[in-house]
Amino acid sequence: MTDLMTIDECLMCGGARSEFVMGGIVRRCADCAFHWTAAGLAPPEELYDESYFEAESYRKYFEFAAQWQFEAARRLRWVLSAAQPTTLVEAGPAGGFFLAAARDHGIAVEGVEVSEAAARYARDRTGVPVRTGTFEEAVFAAPVDAVCAFHVLEHVTDPRRFLQAAHDRLTPHGWLALEVPNIESDTADRAGESWADLSPRFHLWHFGPESLRRLVAEAGFEIVRLDTIFATHYLRPRRQLSRWGLASRWRSLRATGSVRTSHPQRGDYLRVLARRWAPGESS
């Protein structure tokens, strides 16, 4: 396995001053407080083989199709609350569950996935068109109305290049939908280096609300909605009353004083809906 070169300069501001946090696993920029994993990561095509989905990170991912379908339905409802795309591309669709939900809603869909195992599952089991490769290098026949990437941006080698590719593949005023772990969440603050979403072998970048807002805006998008959600947002009804579900709800209540699963800053996952600036417009 070939490691990437260790990153010494901040992605956000280019600053060279940083400190080690979270037990030395993460570096935090001294100038803008952006976070990234201290050690180099291997290229995505080496990391996301079949073992990633079967055993290592997703704990037999493909056995939990009902859960991923539930999450996909919730994400689609969120996208459709602001946008009404007729064409959509998802970067990193894994087993294709979000694409299937969008397809069933009447949207023409396509996916690009670095893992051949996941792409094969999406094609064979979910019935959606997913090709193997990186989104940044993929060529499409025509611009699309929406580009979606859920828990992908933290994995890519260059988030700016990824967002530029998304911008280039969208129609004027097309929609970008992102979701990433929130390093400024209450859970991350409490857990520190034990934070489950730290995942230093696979997550290179660690976003908070302001860093994601800045990165997306600098890529030529208008932020329409940006908020965070707690893990309980994706709990199926029967799990809401489980020990883990009740503990999760208590943590969110303690963090925000509310039983709502969304919050402007402190939730577990950070999400943004943004529109591409049309040619001739300026931000």
Are 122 and 95 within 8 A, CB to CB?
yes
Quote the CA–CA distance of 275 and 176 in Å, as a whole number.
6
- Tokens 């037990």 — which residue? 23
User: Which tokens is 179 given?
Assistant: 């979701």
- pLDDT greater at residue 41 or residue 78: 78
Asked if pLDDT for residue 55 goes beyond 60, the answer is no
- What pLDDT digit, counting tens, does each position of 148-164 carry? 999 999 999 999 999 99
Please state the domain extents for the chain.
18-276
pLDDT class for 243, splitting at 50, 70, 90? confident
Asked if pLDDT for residue 254 goes beyond 50, the answer is yes
Q: How many CB atoms lie within 10 A of CB 106?
A: 7
Cβ-in-10-Å burial (0-12, 13-18, 19+) of 68 comes to buried
The reported pTM is 0.89
Quote the CA–CA distance of 165 and 46 in Å, as a whole number.
22
The values of phi and psi at residue 116, to 5°, are -65, -35
Asked if pLDDT for residue 83 goes beyond 80, the answer is yes
Report the phi/psi class of residue 107: left, alpha or beta, with left for phi > 0 and alpha for psi in -120 to 50.
Answer: beta
Are 114 and 48 within 8 A, CB to CB?
yes
The values of phi and psi at residue 103, to 5°, are -60, -45
How far apart, in Å, do the first and last CA atoms of the chain sit? 42
In the chain, which residue ranges form alpha helices assigned H by DSSP?
44-47, 50-51, 65-80, 97-104, 116-121, 159-169, 186-191, 209-218, 237-240, 243-256
- What pLDDT digit, counting tens, does each position of 93-146 carry? 999 999 999 999 999 999 999 999 899 999 999 999 999 999 999 999 999 999
Quote the CA–CA distance of 137 and 133 in Å, as a whole number.
7
Q: Does domain 18-276 have CATH number 1.10.274.10?
A: no
- What pLDDT digit, counting tens, does each position of 11-45 carry? 999 999 999 999 999 999 999 999 999 987 666 66
Are 274 and 219 within 8 A, CB to CB?
no
Q: What is the pLDDT of residue 1?
A: 38
